[in-house]
Amino acid sequence: MYRFLLLVVVILLAACSPVVSETSQLIPTIDSSDTELIATKLSYERLCAHCHGYSGEGQPTGGGPGTVERSIELGYHPVPMHNAEGHTWQHADQILFEMIKYGARSPMYIYIMPPHAGQLTDDEIFDIIDYIKRFWTPEQRTHQAQITENFLEANPNWEEYHLDIYSEEQDASNID
């Protein structure tokens, strides 16, 4: 019995290993003792990765329902990539925050960008934004940090408005 179980484990490991080694090169490496970061990575993988890709590569390719090819065939934009090839790094943290918290429904996309206000706290959303930054090049990170600063200069009350008043109104309307 023990030998049989061992055999099953060996076969399963052999079957899984090519996939694991292929994707693990793309997924950002993280310190295994950093439990907060691991929790953020798991949230991203649970809530976002099936649309935006485990390493921000966007909607899956390869044809068939749900893939980039199918979206393009039907005249839609594919789900945006978050990696260095996408354009997420060209948006300020505040805009990314609003997109993740409140979502978006554009006729240009076959999928909606779902709102996550009920699933993630504001801090968790900012943690996920920081996680996404790991997919970018150092130059893109520097550029995006500057955009985030510009945005705050142009909208100095953004935090107060969106993280306090707006959030409370939103929470209250959810309860009603």
User: Under the rule (CB under 6 A), what is the footprint of ligand HEC?
Assistant: 47-48, 51-52, 79-80, 86-88, 91, 96, 99-100, 104, 106, 109, 111, 113-114, 116, 128
Asked whether 170 and 117 are in contact (CB, 8 A), the reply is: yes
Residue 158 CA to its chain's centroid (Å): 23
Instruction: Kindly state the smallest distance separating residue 175's Cβ from ligand HEC, in Å.
Output: 22
Asked whether 52 and 79 are in contact (CB, 8 A), the reply is: yes
Task: Count Cβ neighbours within 10 Å for each residue of 155-168 and write b for 16 or more, e otherwise.
Answer: eeebeeebbeeeee
- CB closer to ligand HEC, 42 vs 146: 42
Distance separating the N- and C-terminal Cα atoms of the chain: 57
Q: Which residue in the shown chain puts its C-beta closest to ligand HEC? A: 48
Instruction: Kindly state the smallest distance separating residue 1's Cβ from ligand HEC, in Å.
Output: 42
Size (the chain), residues: 176
- CB closer to ligand HEC, 33 vs 174: 174
Instruction: Kindly state the smallest distance separating residue 11's Cβ from ligand HEC, in Å.
Output: 33
- CB closer to ligand HEC, 62 vs 107: 107
Residue in 50, 43, 26 with CA at minimum distance from that of residue 129: 43
Instruction: Kindly state the smallest distance separating residue 49's Cβ from ligand HEC, in Å.
Output: 8
- CB closer to ligand HEC, 80 vs 135: 80
Residue type present at position 14: A
